[in-house]
Amino acid sequence: MNDNHCDFLVIGSGIAGLCYAIHAAEFGSVIMITKKQDSDSNTNYAQGGIACVLSENDSFEKHIEDTITAGSELCNPESVRIVVEEGPARLKELLQWGVSFSKSRSTDNPYDFHLGKEGGHSENRIVHAKDLTGKELEDTLLRRVRSLNNVAIYENHFAVELITDHHLKKESLPGTCYGAYVLDCVERSVFKVRAKTTCVSTGGAGRVYLHTTNPAIATGDGVAMAYRAGARVANMEFIQFHPTTLYHPDADSFLISEALRGYGAVLRDRSGNAFMDKYHKSGSLAPRDIVARAIDNEMKISGEPCVFLDIRDKPEQETKQQFPNIFKRCLKHGIDITKELIPVVPAAHYICGGIVVNHTGNTDIANLYACGETAYTGVHGANRLASNSLLEALVFSYRAVHDAAIKVTTNTVPKACQIPDWDDSGTHDFEEWILLSHNFNEIRSVMWDYVGIVRSDLRLHRALRRIDLLEKEIENFYKKTRITPQLLELRNIVTISRLIITSALRRKESRGLHYTTDHSKLNNRYWRKDTVLRKKSE
């Protein structure tokens, strides 16, 4: 059985994991686990950009206020201040690594960025690479990681479980993390990776829902693993639905960036009426939770399957230059955005909750860190402000890795004497994927129908009953079957679904992204607090 050792184990290859690995390489050996190709991540799909205070017209205080307002006053103020004030230094680091952002004009000044504006922002502060910011980040960071001799990237490998005291037959919970059991998806063998420190940065869980902007890999693996290992998770009820994804049968919920509305696009109904002004003073540039609910309401009133974005009054060449990816993708589906309305619908986009961490990325489990969308830092509160996610990933991955480096370089990390090999005795191969596929589709349909943009106690209880049955069925199947990537994803998705539903049932108010018809008002007296869950010790 293969056995690997490293100072830093990184699970996930988005912006958070890549930045963590680059910095970790300064202090020791790194193994990066990614279950698909190394460029598969939510980062790669990010169109908008990075929110950062760079203009003389802007200020840290404005960015902090915008973030807390969008987060419906549930943000951790200190976490917000950290990410806003430390953001510019991390952005300059990206420039040093070779990331190329759009400039405001032809100039030799590397900081003369073209700053966009998105919903909820009071100033232009979105640094971007046209409408392909995520791809530019992912490509550049991957090149840098691949140039580092002490970083090993294991593609097509799936982290099965975190190795904790539970596996060493110790009773303490949550205890200590010693690495992870990892599935080689090609060889279908499981081996252990011993690590002095482990960082979970597996991204989001959009695939829990039937319609999502997320890639197929976004199945909540890191949150599910950490929860099973005994770490706390928080605020899983706050699922951000991006208001505008392309409505087309072949578009696979292609995201139409919020930057398009910042540029001047207006939301209209089929009759051409601009409807957002009756929902919010900022109109089409209102925060995402408000826009998504407004679109959902307009669709229910009209019976129409979508609404429309209108950018026709902007200069044609300027639109093509600013949004080349969106223009080409829509044109591929027969829509010229410079001349026609763009049909759009909301889709699951981002999870504001996650594994609870402190200001240096530590979870409840010793030597286990989390960063990126997987982590709950307190920055986003009940609703993430547009383009704050990449900023958070930059800042908190830097903080986490430097805290982990202290443990590694001072040799204060406890060592596991004997970690048992993975035991799959008594399991058998199961070829009928159709049964698992049916469960996968049923979970996503239940979540979309009952735990979506607008919720109720009746819908949530109905969803919980069905998810509980599916979870028991899947766990029983997991114990008897030789594992596959599909089975692991199914197991993680059903765990994430139950966490979302349980959290939603506990919050007896409507705040930010959580709107329930049974408790439609904000209740600061009792519910201005996080929803925290932890698995009971078995």
pLDDT > 80? residue 369: yes
Residue 411 within any structural domain of the chain: no
Phi/psi for 24 (5° steps) reads -60, -30
Check residues 103 and 478 and name the one with the higher pLDDT. Answer: 478
Lowest mean pLDDT among 110-114, 282-286, 515-519: 110-114
pLDDT at position 414, please? 67
Tell me, yes or no, whether 47 lies in a domain: no
Q: Is 81 noted as a catalytic residue in this protein?
A: no
C-alpha closest to that of 155 among 241, 108, 217, 70: 217
Residue indicated by tokens 């770490």: 231
Residue 442 backbone dihedrals phi, psi, to 5 degrees: -65, -45
pLDDT band for position 416 (cuts 50, 70, 90): low
Q: In the 8-state DSSP scheme, what is residue 33? A: E
pLDDT exceeds 50 at position 2: no
Tell me the C-alpha distance between 79 and 87, whole Å.
Answer: 12
- Least confident range from 68-77, 198-207, 265-274, 283-292: namely 283-292
Q: What is the mean pLDDT of residues 8-32?
A: 96
Task: Report residue 48's pLDDT band, with 50, 70 and 90 as the boundaries.
Answer: low
pLDDT digit string (tens) for 142-200? 999 999 999 999 999 999 999 998 877 665 456 899 999 999 999 989 999 999 999 99
pLDDT score for 19: 96
Tell me how many domains the chain contains: 2
Q: How far is Cα 328 from Cα 332, in angstroms, rounded to an integer?
A: 6
Residues 492-513 have pLDDT tens digits of 999 999 999 999 999 999 999 9
Q: Among residues 299, 322, 348, which one ends one of the domains? A: 348
In a domain, 66, yes or no: no
Any domain includes 194: no
pLDDT (0 to 100) of residue 30: 97
Structural domain contains residue 233? no
Q: Of all residues in the chain, what percent carry a pLDDT higher than 70?
A: 93
Q: Report if residue 339 sits inside a domain.
A: yes
Condensed to tens digits (0 to 9), the pLDDT of residues 74-86 reads: 999 999 999 999 9
Say whether pLDDT at 134 is over 80. no
Predicted pLDDT of residue 433: 66
CB 287 within 8 A of CB 119: yes
291 part of a folded domain: yes
Q: How far, CA to CA in Å, does 208 sit from each of 249, 353, 365, 411?
A: 20, 14, 26, 40
> For residue 16, is it within any domain?
no
Q: H/E/C letters for each residue in 260-312? A: HHHHCCEEECCCCCECHHHCCCCHHHCCHHHHHHHHHHHHHHHCCCCEEEECC
Exactly one of 288, 329, 384, 466 is catalytic; name it: 288
For residue 505, what are its two tokens?
A: 């049932």
Please tell me whether residues 250 and 344 are part of one structural domain. yes
Instruction: Give the separation between CA 69 and CA 382, rounded to whole angstroms.
Output: 10
Structural domain harbouring 487: 433-523
- Final residue in a domain of this structure, among 348, 379, 411: 348
pLDDT per residue as tens digits for the range 332-345: 999 999 999 999 99
Listed range (12-21, 138-147, 243-252) with the worst mean pLDDT: 243-252
* Pick from 155, 156, 150, 217: nearest CA to 373: 217
* Average pLDDT in the chain: 90
CB 329 within 8 A of CB 336: no
Structure tokens at 495: 């765990």
Domain termination site, one of 295, 324, 348: 348
- The answer, yes or no, to whether residue 38 has pLDDT greater than 70, is no
Lowest average pLDDT, out of 11-20, 222-231, 356-365, 423-432, goes to: 423-432
- pLDDT over 60 (residue 46): no
Q: Output the pLDDT for position 403.
A: 97
Q: Give the CATH number for residue 334.
A: 3.90.700.10
pLDDT beyond 80 at 434 = no
- pTM (predicted TM-score): 0.90
SS3 226: helix
pLDDT at residue 418 greater than cutoff 70: yes
